[in-house]
Amino acid sequence: MIHPHTNTTLLNESISMSFKAAIDRYDLGHFPDYILEKYANELVYVFENEVYTSSLEMDVTFMTEPYYGAIFLKNLHAEEYIIQEETDYGPLIIVQGDIEAKNLFVSGGDCYFRGNVNVAQTLVAGVYNHGELTINGQIEADLILSFDHSFTYSAAHIKRGIVVGLQPSFEHPEFQSYDFRDVLEKKYYLPGEEILNTDQVLKAMRKGQTLLKNTTLLTPLERQILKARQSNAAKANLGGMSLKDIPQALFELADLTALDLSCNYLESLPAKFLQFKQLSKINLFDCEFEAFPEVLLQMPSLQEINLGKNSLSRLPDGLVNLSNLKKMGLYRCNLSEFPEQLYHLDKLEEIDLSYQEEQPALIINQPLHALKTLHLNANFGTSIQVALPNLQELSMRNCSVKEFPTSILSSKKLKKLDLSLTRGMLDFPATIENLQQLREFRFTMNDHKPANFDQLNKLPKLHKLWVQLPFGPPHWFLDILQIEHWTELYVEGKLDNPAIWREILKRKKLTKLAKVSQFGEEVLNIEQGRKELKAYPDAK
């Protein structure tokens, strides 16, 4: 509800004209075309002199028929607060000079502040997706909040303020974005939803009360360092902190065993990393590495390295020094072939080479005796030409293989197999029954029914089927009901035939049924479905 106070005395200091007339008369700067069209003929209040007021409710003061906003050609000062509360299309507010206030709240209006904004306590720079706020000058406030709103600003212009809701800047990594729980009293936000409790916030701002906790405030980076220092597990999670360099405080944690530096702007690691003698896991996913970090080659304690989504085109020969390495993540890199160095890591149990940008021919033609998990998704020309006796999980989704990879039939410990989106794969070998430990099988159902499909009946532990339907269900779709052991069915693709769902729901062994899409899994209520489809009690 809009606060009822209107500053009628202030209006006596203004003149009125259309927005277009104001643009023609004064140098108001650039506006988007839709703003010019929206307000061109609407009346606005224009203040030609510097304005001083005790407080200002912008909605009820400036958006009353036939007016749609206000233009301040010079500075605007408020001893207490300036509030634009309306979330649905508040007034157009233009301030050509500087703004000073104890508290400033902008919601759904179109606001253009050309000068500096100096707020003693709290600046709320938008709380809704209607309207927009542009601040051209410097920004100072004890607390700066913005979310779900179009807010244009320069991170370099934030000269003072604890920031919540804005993303950190690559150009200014020292600009840290806090979380609500880090800085706000609990009554000012809704826990779990990470949105402001605007009623409480507005009440405090009108009373001149701060929203900040009365405790020492920690940035997310400081909080994670403290958490790691207090952790018995000696783990540190600095992922997504917009780091360009490793913070010195991290090197005080000499006993680290696991370190997450993912989603940062790191291009290299310093030699000081060698002091982490016990580090066994490091996550460098989605950073800026163009080469394997050399310092890691001198850290034999490492067991897991994730360098996925980095621009790596090769691995160094020195990788063989990491004799304890068990997991290597190279998802979405730039490798053009299967890295030769991986063959020499005798303890390597897990490799992820999915989605290489160079579309390599990932040909595995040497033994990997310890390998248990292998992900090769979306790499055309991929093939496995040797036995992998300890393999337990293989994913070759969207690899366009033309036939079943028979080399894996000797992988008698295999539990999970994904060959979905392999439209050229037509038949199953008769010896697929060798995979006696197979529990989960993902495959594509085309019009052609695979030869030896019924051999799946000889896999006693096959409890999860994941079928991908590129063109809808083929004519033989319900033949899956003849496969005896499965209890879970995941359907990826269009299946809108009620008769097919009815037959599936008749299966007594069925414990889980889900539709799969790019948005995730939709688990269906089996009992409710059986009731609605009038399933028969004697169903198989």
Do 279 and 258 form a contact (C-beta atoms < 8 A)? yes
Specify the pLDDT at position 285: 98
Q: How far apart, in whole angstroms, are the C-alpha atoms of residue 376 and residue 342?
A: 14
Nearest alpha-carbon partner for 379 in 414, 335, 442, 348:
335
User: How far is the first Cα of the chain from the last one, in angstroms, to the nearest whole number?
Assistant: 60
What single-letter amino acid sits at 482?
Answer: Q
For residue 360, the model assigns a pLDDT of 64
Going by pLDDT thresholds of 50, 70 and 90, the confidence category of residue 57 is very high
Condensed to tens digits (0 to 9), the pLDDT of residues 408-462 reads: 999 999 999 999 998 667 799 999 999 999 999 999 998 889 999 999 999 999 9
How many of the other CB atoms lie within 10 Å of CB of 337? 13
Look up residue 278 and give its two tokens: 């016990």
C-alpha dihedral, 205 to 208 to 211 to 212, nearest 10°: 150
Q: Report the half-sphere exposure of 11 (CA within 13 A, side-chain side).
A: 15
- Give the confidence band of 297 by pLDDT, cuts at 50, 70, 90: very high
Is residue 89 within 8 Å of residue 67, measured between CB atoms?
no
Q: Are 101 and 123 in contact (CB under 8 A)?
A: no
DSSP letter for 107, please. Answer: -
Say whether the peptide bond before residue 429 is cis (omega within 30 degrees of 0).
no
Tokens of 516: 């799969």
Determine which of 79-83, 170-174, 177-181, 439-443 has the lowest per-residue pLDDT on average. 170-174
Residue that is written with structure tokens 């902008």 in the block:
106
Phi-psi region for residue 130, left (φ > 0), alpha (ψ -120 to 50) or beta? beta
- Give the least confident one: 180-189, 296-305, 341-350: 180-189
Over range 243-266, report the average pLDDT.
Answer: 92
Q: Report pLDDT for 228.
A: 87
Dihedrals phi, psi of 119, to nearest 5 degrees: -120, 130
* 537 pLDDT more than 60: no
Q: Across-strand partners of 522?
A: 515
**How far, in Å, CA of 299 to CA of 486, rounded?**
45
Sign of CA dihedral 418, 423, 425, 427: positive
* Mean pLDDT calculated for residue range 521-531: 88
Instruction: Say what the pLDDT of residue 180 is.
Output: 82
The helix/strand/coil state of 199 is helix
User: What is the pLDDT at residue 439?
Assistant: 98
Given a cut of 60, whether residue 497 has pLDDT beyond it is yes
pTM: 0.75
Q: What is the pLDDT of residue 232?
A: 77
Measured CA to CA in angstroms, residue 194 lies from 87, 127, 180, 506 at distances of 18, 12, 7, 43
> Tens digits of per-residue pLDDT, 355-401?
997 666 789 999 999 999 999 999 988 899 999 999 999 999 998 88
Answer yes or no: are the C-beta atoms of 310 and 284 closer than 8 Å: yes
Query: Which of 81, 83, 84 shows the shortest CA–CA distance to 103?
Result: 81
Residue 173, pLDDT > 60, answer no
Mean pLDDT within 150-175: 76
- Judged against a pLDDT cut of 90, whether residue 155 lies above it is answered with no
The dihedral sign for the CA sequence 499, 503, 506, 512: negative
Q: What is the pLDDT of residue 539?
A: 45
Residue at 339: amino acid letter: P
Give the distance from CA 527 to its chain's centroid. 34
Question: CA-to-CA distance for 264 and 218, rounded, in angstroms?
Answer: 19
DSSP run (H or E) holding 336: none
pLDDT at 343 over 60: yes
Q: Give whichever of 190-204, 227-241, 276-290, 520-534 has the largest mean pLDDT.
A: 276-290
Candidate from 236-240, 442-446, 534-538 with smallest mean pLDDT: 534-538
pLDDT mean over 12-25:
93
The more confidently predicted of residues 148 and 429 is: 429
pLDDT score, position 540: 45
Give residue 176's pLDDT: 65
- pLDDT of res. 531: 78
Q: What angle do CA 289, 291, 296 make, to 5 degrees?
A: 90
What integer best gives the mean pLDDT of the chain? 90
CA torsion, points 338, 343, 347, 350, in degrees to nearest 10? 10
Split at pLDDT 50, 70, 90, the class of 6 is low
β-sheet bridge partners, residue 135: 113
Task: State yes or no: pLDDT of 101 exceeds 90.
Answer: yes
Give the model's pLDDT for residue 2.
43
Q: Which residues of 175-188 are buried (b: 16+ CB within 10 A; e: fewer)?
A: bbbbebebbbbeeb
Q: What is the pLDDT of residue 175?
A: 62
